[in-house]
Each structure stands twice: as C-alpha cells, then as structure tokens.
Structure 1
Amino acid sequence: MSSIYRPWLKRVLIAASIFALTLTGPANSVSAQTMDWPNQPIKILVGFPAGGASDVMARIIADELRKELKQPVVVENKPGAAGTLAASMTARSKSDGYTLLLASPTAITLAPSTMSDKINYNPVTDLLPISMVAKYPLFLIANPKLGVKNVSELIEMAKKEPGKINFASFGIFTSGGLAVEQLKLKAKINVLHVPFNGSSAAMQGLLGGEVDLMFDTAVTALPNIEAGKLVPLAIASKKKSSLAPKMPTVSETLPDFQADSWVGLMAPAGTPAEVVSRIQSAVAKIVATDVIKQRFSKLGAETESAETSDFVQHIKDETARYEKLVHEANIKLQ
C-alpha cells in the first residue's frame, strides 16, 4: 500500500473503533451494572399501613432478603387507593432492581376490571412478576345461630328463603367480598351482601349476630372456630389448606369455585432478567425453610411455588376470572 494512504487508513481504523465502542458501550455498561447488583439498599413498597398483615409479611421477606443479597432491604409503606398508589409508584420507578413491590390482588388482578379508569399504570405492561410469596386461604364461616354445618345446607336454606341470609365482607372489591359474589352466582342463590368498613368490623358483626356468614382469613377465623364462637363450613381455596387439613373445600360442592388472597414480589417492567432471577432464587430459598413456613402460618398464610412462570400464570388466570365475575355479577365501583 502506498505510504500516502497510511495516515488516512489509520484515522479510519481509529474512527471505526470509536464507533464500535459507542455501539457496545451502553450494553456493556448495563451488563456491568447487572453483574454488580446489588451494590446499594433495596426498597420494597407496600400499599398498606404499617402493622397490617401485608406490612408484617413484607418485613419478614425484607429481613431474609437482606441476609441472602448482602444489602439492606427496607420497607416503605405507601398506603392509599387500595394498594394502587404503591403499584403506580413502582411502575414509574427505575427498572434497576432497587425498587420492588409487595403486590396483592386489588392492585394487580382486580384493577383492570374494577378501576381501569382510575389508575395510571397497566399491571400487565408496567410491572414485572418475580415471585409469589404466600397465599392467604379464605374460610367460609357462619354464626352458630344460622344452623348450617356445610355448604350444601347453606345453599338449601338460601333457596328456601331467598334474601333472608346475609353475608359480611370487608369491602365488595376485596377477596372476601368477591367470594360472596362468586358464591351467589355459582350456587344461584339470593343472599344479601353487607360490606363493612374493614375486616375487624365485619368480624364483630358476624360474632354479634348482625350478619350470618363471612369469608375470612385464618388468622381471625380459626381462633373463633376453635373457641366455638363460629362454625366452619368450608375453605374457599382450590385445594385443601395445611392450616386446616380436614376442612372441605367449597369446590367439592360447587365445582371450579376458587377464592383466596396472596402477596408476591414485582418490579418495574424492564428490570434486567439477571436481577429478576437472583431475587426469585433468593425468595424460593427463603420460603422453602421451615422457620418461614411457621412464621407465615401464624399470619394465616401458606408458602406457594416461587417460580416466576407460575406467578405469571396465576396473575393471568385470576385477572380473567375476576373480569368474568365482575361482568356476570354486574358489580359497579361505588
């Protein structure tokens, strides 16, 4: 090659090298950041006040994640709008793995069918499922004065005396409230749904005989059952619960009946797959331990499959189920 072209060729090669670096630089930077994760504190947003079941669950998980990931994990309570405020804040956060959401049905699987015009995020496209943490089975319980001992007797009584039996719930758009609506549809019965302002008020109404029945979680249902104050009829989960293994399911009488609540970890969409995988692996290890299973049991919860694919499928199925229920029952947001 002529010497006249050598300086030009050198400049071209240098320019090409710089151009190549501009193409690969950001990807390499992201990869390096991912490999270095976590190198700062992680926060878990909770859409409910401190001291509640979700808050306690989040703090258990945060403490265990701190041990696994070797970084502080802090819980930040962002109560408001039935948990959708925290979901919205998470959806708008950086997708770097340092902001997580302790999600629950109201903000994720219920929101699309009950408040799509009131939220500024899309649970499917703006949030990324990581892992189911636990499920809260719901128990169908009755005041002894009602005089029924199982689901079949309840349905028979309700059909003989339409509109006479009443159900408590702690809000129509809660897992317990929607369980009532599902029971009405599947059993083809006419019962009065009485939403209370919170679970404590609903339970007091049931114990006092103001209402006849209620779907409630184990932490309040089981002690009252054991004390003889309430009669257990069935569990609303798809399968029997380790918290009350001898109790039948509603689905044994009404096929395909399913109602429960859950909590799981989600992240902003776009969070690197490597980060999601590390969090999921840590959660799977945590919830598999006997110590955590016992702590969850005291909260009325059971550990579930921590696989991301199972969580994704659960969200998809439950969203479709709630959309169908809200439409068929003609439930309106007040």
Structure 2
Amino acid sequence: MTTRRHLLHTGAALTLGSLAGLSAPLAHANTVIRLVVPYAPGGPLDVSSRLIAEQAQAHGLGTVIVENKPGAGGNIGSDYVAKAPADGTVIGLAAVATHAINPWLFSKMPFDAAKDFAPITQVARVPNVLIVNADWAKQHGIATLAQLIAYAKAHPDKLNYGSGGNGSAGHLAGEYFKQRAGITATHVPFNGANPATLALLAGQVDFNIDNLATAAPNIKSGKVIPLAVTTATPSEMLPGVPTLSATLKGFEIDTWWGLVAPAATPADVIARLNKAFVAALNSTHTKARFAAMLATPAPTTPQQFGALMERERARYAQLVKASGAKVD
C-alpha cells in the first residue's frame, strides 16, 4: 500500500511538474506578457497591438505590455522574439514585411521566418488601393483602371509610381501590377510611406499602391482617386471602387499582420494565447476601433495563420526576385 501510495503521489507530482513547465508562465493573473512590435510607435500596427493587448487582459491573460523594437525593416524586433524564452511571456507582431518579404529582400537574415516562430493568430488585414493623383488623372482623362493600363501601353515608359522604398510592400505590389498588366512604369523609391504620399500629391509620381489606412485621408479630400482595391473582393470601406482582379483576373495582394511566439513555445501555451487574442479581436470594442483605422480584424487558428505566412513567403519570393530589390 505504501509503495502504491508513493507511486501515485510521485506520478501526480511528475504530471503537475510537467504541466507547470508548460503552462505556469501564463497561469496567473499577475503574469506579464511582453508583445514586441518591430516598428516605431504610432503606426497602425503599433496602435492595433496596443488595443488588443488591452482587450486580451480581459480574456484570461495577465498584463500585456507592448514594447517597440524598431530597426532593420522590422528584423531587430523579430529577431528578439525568435531568441526569447519559449514560455509565452514574450510574443511578437509578425507582418508581411518581416515574415514574407524580408527573408528574400535581405542577403543576411538574423532569424529564419519559416522555422523560428510559432504562429498564434492573424490579427488584421487592410486592403491596398491603387491611387492616382487627381489633377494628373483629370488632365489625361483617366477614371478607371482599364484607362490607366491603356494609357501606359500607349505611352511606354511615361508612367512612374512611388513607394516607401526598394523592397517595400508598395514597391512589390507595383511590380506585380506591372507584370500582370503588361505595362512599364518607373519605380521611384522614397524614404518611407509619407514621403511617397507627398510625392504623389505633388505630382512627382503618377500612381502609388498603398494601404487604405494611409491613403484614406487623401481619398476623402479628393486629392487622389482610388481606381481599384487589391483584395479579391470589393472593400466595404470604399463602396463603388472595383477590385484589380475585375480587370486582371486573380490579382490579390493586401497588408496583413498577426502574432507569433518563439518556435519552441508549448502547444498548450499557444492555445491559451490564441483563445485570449481571438476573443479580443472578436470584441465589439475592437471591431469598432479597427474600423476607424480602416482595418478588418482577422482572427484565425494558429494553423491558419501559419499557412497564410507560408503562402505569402512563396508569393514574395517570386516578386522580390522579379523586382531585383536587395538589401545588403
């Protein structure tokens, strides 16, 4: 009996010890979770991260603190997450740039985007929109995407477009558009999205492909005209604006971001993080705040978000190679 009782106690202790090793960091309300955003404060990715960090605390997590670690196109913050303890106390924001574009853009990467992270959930997606300078469009009689393509074909090498820099999402979306439309247009890189927007407003470039959150104020003011959104279906946020795929079948590209943890994070910890953040994303408060930012909450399972990142890496491998962009 003593031996049996001893074995039962020992087995129970081992089981509890194993579970504690997996889940203890997230088991208490006073646990501090650090959500690393690999970009500077103030942008849509940072604002949305702070919003869901606050909301997730009401859904079973401890205190969630957002930390900004910008630099190297997002690689510094992402590398920090990749090398953090795999216990759920450090998670990170994964964006199209850090986890789909940078692996092909940078000649040397400090982390492996495919192997060093465990997906938690996608957070949001924002439509990209092809916009033209309103004065330029009026001068050339361009009010539709088909008319822009026809103008480009009739005036080879006359068009140019701006982006936030070589290898940026706007640059690669522009290259994808050129390939699919069979046109030529000169890429003009700027040091960030804001200078690229100012160049479009000043008539220094003819069109940009930008995310809707950035483009919306100038669309509303009438300074730029939206010709098409890049998502597979029309956006409720731009009623009446068609998709690029209506003219170029199958064209689809947008801005997305989500949450990841270090690769070795236990499955039960990932499941708890997923449950809390999905609940946060589904809250009425979050949906209203995201709508104000022209973003759509996109909660998923870890497996779904992992599959999305894998597909996007494959897509951008081709686009980066075709663009010739490189960061050494």
TM-score (norm 2): 0.90
Equivalent pair of 1:34/1:272 in contact (CA under 8 Å): no
Q: Deviations over 1:212-260 (max 9, x none)?
A: 1011222332222222211110001222222114211111111222221
Q: Distance in 2 between matches of 1:219 and 1:17?
A: 59
Structure 1 unaligned runs (5+)?
1-9
- Counterpart for residue 100 of structure 2: 109
Structure with bigger RCO (C-alpha 8 Å, 6+ apart):
2
Q: 2:284 aligns with which of 274, 286, 290?
A: 290
- Counterpart for residue 247 of structure 2: 253
Deviation at 1:36, TM superposition (A): 2.5
Letter of the 2:49 counterpart:
A
Q: Secondary structure at the match of 2:91?
A: strand
**Change over 3 Å in CA distance of 1:50–1:248 after alignment to 2:** same
Q: Deviations over 1:72-122 (max 9, x none)?
A: 11011101111111110001001100101011111111122112x422211
Q: Deviations over 1:179-206 (max 9, x none)?
A: 0010111112110111111111111111
- Counterpart for residue 142 of structure 1: 132
- Counterpart for residue 224 of structure 2: 230
1:129 aligns with 2:123: no
Q: Look at both structures and tell me which one has the larger radius of gyration over its CA atoms.
A: 1
Q: Secondary structure at the match of 1:322?
A: helix
Equivalent pair of 1:37/1:275 in contact (CA under 8 Å): no
CA RMSD, Structure 1 to Structure 2 (Å): 2.5
- Counterpart for residue 210 of structure 2: 216
Letter of the 1:194 counterpart:
V
**Change over 3 Å in CA distance of 1:175–1:113 after alignment to 2:** same
Matches within 5 A, 1:159-238: 159-238=153-232
Q: Secondary structure at the match of 1:262?
A: strand
Letter of the 1:55 counterpart:
D
Q: 1:57 aligns with which of 48, 61, 79?
A: 48
Q: Distance in 2 between matches of 1:277 and 1:26?
A: 19
Q: 1:69 aligns with which of 50, 60, 65?
A: 60
Equivalent pair of 1:237/1:258 in contact (CA under 8 Å): yes
Letter of the 2:151 counterpart:
M
Structure 2 unaligned runs (5+)?
none
**Change over 3 Å in CA distance of 1:34–1:152 after alignment to 2:** same
Q: Deviations over 1:31-59 (max 9, x none)?
A: 56267356511010011112222221111
Q: Distance in 2 between matches of 1:67 and 1:31?
A: 22
- Counterpart for residue 7 of structure 1: none
Q: 2:82 aligns with which of 84, 91, 101?
A: 91
Deviation at 1:312, TM superposition (A): 1.3
Q: Secondary structure at the match of 1:140?
A: strand
Equivalent pair of 1:133/1:265 in contact (CA under 8 Å): yes
> How much identity, in percent, do the aligned residues show?
34
TM-score (norm 1): 0.88
Worse overlay, 282-291 or 173-182: 282-291
**Change over 3 Å in CA distance of 1:122–1:38 after alignment to 2:** farther
Worse overlay, 144-153 or 173-182: 144-153
